[in-house]
Amino acid sequence: MIELKNLHKSFEDKEVLKGISTVFESGKTNLIIGQSGSGKTVLIKNIVGLFEPTTGQILYDGRNYVAMNKKEKTMLRREMGMIFQNAALFDSMSVLENVMFPLDMFSNDTLRERTKRAQFCLDRVNLIEAQNKYPGEISGGMQKRVAIARAIALNPKYLFCDEPNSGLDPKTSLVIDELIHDITAEYNMTTIINTHDMNSVMGIGEHIIYIFEGHKEWEGTKDEIISSNNERLNSFIFASDLFRKVKEVELKEELEHKK
């Protein structure tokens, strides 16, 4: 579980995060949605420690990340897995070597154990047959799956994904979403995902926070989002075709019910 308490972040005189509080539970896919520029990436970067918040607390299972010293922060970072926008694989390393990289860096296991663990993770994302290929030889969706395998190699308690579906077609996005959702439940990780993708919201939005100009405008589940009366949220989600259709059907049913 990750808890944010009144998180603020300013860059010089520009306040980007204006006091965000929420709880991201473990075993759930927590989604952060909002318009471009609303502060999603800045928020996730604060949570993982790439930025330092101006004020506020970030509690990792009760442990206040902001108040930790450098050594404690480094230790906590080992419990985090991250998947950023471009899969960020090493082109000169094979798929297997990419997944082994964090193990080579941070574990004391033997080569044989590290190889076994990396192969286990690759198998989990259905890519064991591609282990000896290079990133340039596999599709974008496969690269994302390698990035997921690498992110879970060290068995993280916390998983962060900034726009994991960018550049992927809808069907491949669905595969990635389901994979992230399933491993989150399987390993009881606390997963936080930044997304623009309304298909993701409807597919895996177990807990959603909607950020509007740096503050939390709305919070709820994928079922609650359809019937929300929040105007800012509705105008954001109405921009998506999928949502317009779902909402229109709902409104029609409501009207018919009233007749």
Of the listed pieces 22-30, 34-42, 102-110, 116-124, which binds Mg ion according to CB under 5 A? 34-42
- Least separation, in Å, of the C-beta of 45 and ligand ATP? 8
Q: Is 41 an interacting residue with respect to Mg ion (CB under 5 A)? A: yes
85 Cβ neighbours under 8 A, 6+ residues apart: 162, 163, 166
Q: For the segment 28-47, give every residue that binds ligand ATP (CB under 6 A).
A: 34, 36-42
- Least separation, in Å, of the C-beta of 95 and ligand ATP? 27
74 Cβ neighbours under 8 A, 6+ residues apart: none
Query: Considering just the CA atoms, what is the radius of gyration of the chain in Å?
Result: 19
- Least separation, in Å, of the C-beta of 114 and ligand ATP? 34
Phi, psi of 222 (to 5 degrees): -65, -30
What count of Cα atoms within 13 Å lies in the side-chain half-sphere of residue 215?
5
Distance CA 36, CA 18 (A): 16
Q: Is 11 an interacting residue with respect to ligand ATP (CB under 6 A)? A: yes
Per-residue x/- mask for ligand ATP, residues 178 to 207, rule CB under 6 A? ------------------x-----------
Nearest residue (CB) to Mg ion, 9 versus 40: 40
Nearest residue (CB) to ligand ATP, 39 versus 135: 39
Distance CA 146, CA 102 (A): 13
Q: Is 52 an interacting residue with respect to ligand ATP (CB under 6 A)? A: no
Distance CA 130, CA 146 (A): 9
Residue 202 burial (CB count, 10 A)? 18
Q: Is 29 an interacting residue with respect to Mg ion (CB under 5 A)? A: no
Nearest residue (CB) to ligand ATP, 38 versus 98: 38
With CB under 6 A as the contact rule, the residue among 2, 4, 7, 16 that binds ligand ATP is 16
- Least separation, in Å, of the C-beta of 159 and Mg ion? 17
Answer whether 39's CB lies under 8 Å from 14's CB.
Answer: no
Tokens of 64: 């206040």
Tokens of 126: 């259905």
CA-to-CA separations, 182 to 27, 102, 176, 207, in angstroms, rounded: 9, 22, 10, 15
- Least separation, in Å, of the C-beta of 185 and ligand ATP? 26
Nearest residue (CB) to ligand ATP, 11 versus 90: 11
Q: Is 164 an interacting residue with respect to ligand ATP (CB under 6 A)? A: no
Q: Which residues bind Mg ion (CB under 5 A)?
A: 40-41
Binding site residues, ligand ATP, CB under 6 A: 11, 16, 34, 36-42, 196
